[in-house]
Amino acid sequence: MKSVILVGGVGTRMRPLTYETPKQMLPLVGVPMIECVFDALARHGITDAVLALGYLPDRFIEAYPSGVIAGVHVTYAVEPEPLDTAGAIRFAAKLANIDETFIVVNGDIITDLDISKLVKFHRDHRAEATIALHAVEDPSRFGVVPTTPDGRVIAFVEKPPRDEVPTNLINAGTYVFEPSVLERIAPTGRVSIERDTFPELAAAGTLYAMADDSYWLDAGTPQAFLQANVDFMLGHFRENAVAGTADGSWIHPSSTVDPSATIINSVVDRNCVVKANVVLENSVLLPGAVVEEDVEVRFSIIGPDAVIGALSRLDATCVVGANVRVEPGSRLAGDVRLGGV
Using CB under 6 A, list all residues that contact ligand GTP: 6-13, 23, 52-54, 79, 82-85, 88, 106-108, 220
Amino acid 331 reads R
DSSP 242: P
Residue tagged active-site, from 2, 23, 159, 275: 159
Q: How far is the CB of 84 from ligand GTP (least distance, A)?
A: 5
Q: For 291-336, give the DSSP string.
A: E-TT-EEES-EE-TT-EE-TT-EE-SSEEEPTT-EEPTT-EE-SSE
Instruction: Closer to ligand GTP by CB, 14 or 165: give it.
Output: 14
Q: How far is the CB of 231 from ligand GTP (least distance, A)?
A: 19
Nearer of residues 251 and 286 to ligand GTP, judged by Cβ: 286
To ligand GTP, the closest distance from the beta carbon of 112 in angstroms equals 18
| Helix, strand, coil percentages for the chain (3-state, nearest 5) | 25, 30, 45
**Min dist. Cβ of residue 199 to ligand GTP (A):** 16
CB of 35 to ligand GTP, least distance (A): 15
CB nearer to ligand GTP: pick between 23 and 275: 23
Q: Is 94 a catalytic residue?
A: no
* Cβ pair 275, 312 in contact under 8 A: no
Half-sphere exposure at residue 86, Cβ-oriented, CA atoms within 13 angstroms: 23
Residue 158, H or E segment = strand 157-158
Distance, CA of 300 to CA of 302 (rounded, Å): 7
> Where do the DSSP E strands lie in 38-168?
48-53, 68-69, 72-78, 102-106, 109-111, 129-135, 143-144, 157-158
Find the Cα–Cα–Cα–Cα dihedral 293, 297, 300, 301, rounded to 10°: 20
CA distance 128 to 102: 11
| Minimum CB distance to ligand GTP smaller for 6 or for 295 | 6
| Type of residue numbered 271 | N
Of 64 and 311, CB closest to ligand GTP: 64
| Residue 318 near residue 301, CB atoms below 8 Å | yes
> Any idea which residues carry the catalytic annotation?
159
